[in-house]
Structure 1
Amino acid sequence: MKAAAPKNIVVIGGGIQGTSVAYQLSKKIDPSKTTIRILEAKAPASAASGKGGGFMAASWGDGGPTESLHRLSFDMFEDLAKELGCKSYRKLPVLSVSPGSNNKMVKVARDQLGKTMPSWLDGNMGRISVMGEGDDTAQITPKEFVDKMIEKADLEVVLGKCIGVETEDIDGEEKAITGVKYIDRETKKECLLEADVCIVSAGPWTCQAEDWFDNVIELPMEGIKSTSIVWKQQDDDETDATALFCGEDPRFNTHLEVYPRPDNTIYICGIGGSDYISKEELKNGAFLEECNAKETRVEAASNAFKEMSSTYRENGQLDRVQACMRPCAVDALPYMGKVPGFRGAYINGAHNCWGICWSQATGLAISELVLEGESKSIDLTPFDPCRFTATVKGRGRKKRGQNVGEQW
């Protein structure tokens, strides 16, 4: 059954997930009848979307419930990058690299792999093999993509921290969204955005929605806070475009993921030493304003990379160090769907380490759910935001009786 056309839509969260939802909605609505606003606490792409690697892989979710998210989003990114004029999108090959202390492996790999072997991978390592030829692996710099979506769709961004929703009762059985309450970032005053639809897409802080919706839904969440580093371009040289997934290196306690970018910098994550942030801390806004790198992990990652690359060992300079969080549900699947008992309320969060990769498919699916009453592009059943809600509370609602595991 097709949902009634909304008048005022508020997307809570200005990362690539929330912005993708808003962008897909903007392509389907009549702007003279429906307004779309993004409510963002700090700035667009200020958290993981401004600090993530932006790697995507079409087939790496095959055989599991996220297969459609991987594949649809991968195809959409290529088309949307052209539509938006993004310069940072490209396909690129991927190598698996085992740590080691043998520089003879470089020549062997170069003979076997040819141009797939990047010139900057010229230090000590172990076995090297191809993980992807570049046909189903790609990258985007997510902040550029977020900025381009906002610009292209002329999306309005309101800066402020969401503190709840306003509702009105419907027949004693259901509540309807009428507004979104927030603290204005500049004035520090409580304000209200008129809304008949609100979509909570706030990364790890999405779990705050439990309180906003009278605890009718339980959103187990953990934030994985991790450090990443970016190396400057080497002189005026172009940086060969091959990504690396590296094995565990006990010397540095790292498992590096290395992504050369089209601007010739090199982004590295998989640094290890992550912190696990509880739901209670996230509800209190932990690391929403400031999320700093661990210096010990910066040093470890730098040393691990320089072991593999004599080029960067001799001449490498760091451009920046940073940290962000990936939002994880206990089963590592996202929350995507309606909030029970609240008309016009939706959840789109907990997209884990694949949040950037999945963003275009989730944006399309949620836009369909809001405007058409169901998602036609993606089966949202595995991502039901109520899957950990043992009892759906309130009048007229029934015990769900689900048995849910908490394994990864």
Structure 2
Amino acid sequence: MSLAASKSPKNIVVVGGGIQGTSVAFALAERDFKVTVLEAVRPASAASGKGGGFMARSWGDGGPTEGLHHVAFDLYETLAPSLGCTSYRKLPVLSVSPGKSPLDLATKKRHGEMLPSWLDGNLGRVSVMGSGDDTAQITPSEFVEKMLEKHAGRIHVVKGTCTGVTCTEQNQVSSVEYSDENSKACSLIADTVIVSAGPWSCAAEDWFDGALKLPMEGVKSTSIVWKKPESIETVDATALFCGEDSRFGTHLEVYPRPNGEIYICGIGGSDYISTEELKQGAFRNECNAKDARVKAAVASFQEMSSTYRQNGELEKQQACMRPCPPDAMPYMGAVPGYSGAYINAGHNCWGIAWAPACGQAMAELILDGQSKCVDLSLFDPARFTPAAQRGERGRKRQGTSVGEQW
């Protein structure tokens, strides 16, 4: 627990301008608080600008993240239209196995309109994973943009890379240190800081004098986006989760979007980035696709779609990282032994899907002393910290101890 909940913080800084950090800022702004978002590149520059944006309400049922799935899915359903997001919609999901022949008539009759017209190549078994009642999508960069637009008067974005957090002798947050675009050392006055910088959040280990350990692995993966072929009027709205295709080393996830694009991930060949590399900012400013995996994804998808084999044209090839703690659960909560310090990070592949719930939960924790919408106890950010080390007290500046311990 924090030393004291900040019931009415005056200077709030969120470190990270992705969909998670922006959702925290948005939830605080909804309650009439002003927030500064410190972002190293630009809002939604990493996974939030390159992710698929798929969500599934019931896919966490029975597990510790069930509440995050439920609350976020329901919030998206109301928030997206109210913010004017055109990329949000519910859509059905099919499971598709790789194969060597076109679908037979019986399969076409069984799945009817759920089968998209562009799925006209060689396939194996097809089954339904979701009818569209509890599966949906959004383009995450649009959601970030719309949240910032809604509260342009309350959320201020500052460009810079966080280098540390300064605290008083009583371990109350007093400022956030950062390096600006010209590598100049700068400072933001803060009584509350929420570290929500995706995989790079593990750098906070060094900002709070060892009060917590945040083991993190970054999974760096390639994705592609297809343009809408001119030969078809509409790209039917059915998402695909495809089985392992040994011919190409892929297990594609295929998400058609309302604007006619098709986003594809699950391309395989991911790289695994260590905590120490992430602390040094690995792939924060530049994260490029692997050409070999782009070729594999193109070949795998075109095997399933004659339409895209004949008329397909790529719009984007890109890469991003998802943050993975050892137990695949997020870090959400207060920094032990410190007042006004919080972590919201490590949301794995569900970070986009959970974002509104995480934002609301963190805002409740900060302003009310505890989260009401989601039980955060299982997501304790100090769960990997040795008990004797939790909340070690000391004066801090820019990640370096400047005073005695007691």
Identify the structure with bigger relative contact order (alpha carbons < 8 Å, sequence gap 6+). 2
> Do residues 197 (structure 1) and 200 (structure 2) align?
no
Aligned runs of 1:5-404 on 2, under 5 Å? 5-29=8-32, 34-103=33-102, 105-154=103-152, 155-170=155-170, 175-185=171-181, 187-235=182-230, 237-393=233-389
Task: State the shift of 1:102 in Å.
Answer: 1.4
In 2, distance between residues paired with 1:347 and 1:181?
16
In 1, distance between residues paired with 2:282 and 2:375?
32
| Letter matched to residue 353 of structure 2 | C
- Deviation sequence 1:145-182 (CA, Å, 0-9, x none): 00000010112100000000111012xxxx00000000
Confirm or deny: 8 A CA contact 2:37 2:156 kept in the other structure. Answer: yes
Q: Matched residue pairs, number? A: 387
In 2, distance between residues paired with 1:316 and 1:260?
14
Q: How large is the RMSD of aligned CA atoms in angstroms?
A: 1.3
Task: State the shift of 1:108 in Å.
Answer: 3.2
- Residues 56, 396 of structure 1: CA spacing in aligned structure 2 closer, same or farther, 3 A cutoff? closer
- Residues 392, 35 of structure 1: CA spacing in aligned structure 2 closer, same or farther, 3 A cutoff? farther
Larger mean CA deviation between 13-22 and 235-244 belongs to 235-244
Task: State the shift of 1:238 in Å.
Answer: 1.2
In 1, distance between residues paired with 2:332 and 2:246?
37
Task: State the shift of 1:310 in Å.
Answer: 0.5
- Residues 357, 278 of structure 1: CA spacing in aligned structure 2 closer, same or farther, 3 A cutoff? same
- Residues 181, 2 of structure 1: CA spacing in aligned structure 2 closer, same or farther, 3 A cutoff? closer
| Letter matched to residue 382 of structure 1 | L
Task: State the shift of 1:83 in Å.
Answer: 1.4
SS at match of 1:343: coil
Task: State the shift of 1:110 in Å.
Answer: 1.9
In 1, distance between residues paired with 2:194 and 2:150?
21
- Deviation sequence 1:352-383 (CA, Å, 0-9, x none): 00000000110000000000111011100110
Confirm or deny: 8 A CA contact 1:339 1:385 kept in the other structure. Answer: yes
Unaligned runs of 5+ in 2: 394-406
- Residues 79, 394 of structure 1: CA spacing in aligned structure 2 closer, same or farther, 3 A cutoff? closer
In 1, distance between residues paired with 2:310 and 2:104?
17
Task: State the shift of 1:391 in Å.
Answer: 2.9
In 2, distance between residues paired with 1:42 and 1:10?
16
TM-score normalised by length of structure 2: 0.93
- Residues 344, 122 of structure 1: CA spacing in aligned structure 2 closer, same or farther, 3 A cutoff? same
In 1, distance between residues paired with 2:48 and 2:239?
19
| Letter matched to residue 123 of structure 2 | M
Task: State the shift of 1:395 in Å.
Answer: 7.8
Task: State the shift of 1:212 in Å.
Answer: 0.7
Task: State the shift of 1:106 in Å.
Answer: 5.0
Unaligned runs of 5+ in 1: 398-408
- Residues 2, 195 of structure 1: CA spacing in aligned structure 2 closer, same or farther, 3 A cutoff? closer
| Letter matched to residue 389 of structure 1 | T
| Letter matched to residue 228 of structure 1 | S
Confirm or deny: 8 A CA contact 1:53 1:141 kept in the other structure. Answer: yes
Confirm or deny: 8 A CA contact 1:17 1:359 kept in the other structure. Answer: yes
TM-score normalised by length of structure 1: 0.93
Confirm or deny: 8 A CA contact 1:230 1:321 kept in the other structure. Answer: yes
In 1, distance between residues paired with 2:39 and 2:267?
28
- Residues 300, 375 of structure 1: CA spacing in aligned structure 2 closer, same or farther, 3 A cutoff? same
Task: State the shift of 1:396 in Å.
Answer: 7.6
Task: State the shift of 1:111 in Å.
Answer: 1.3
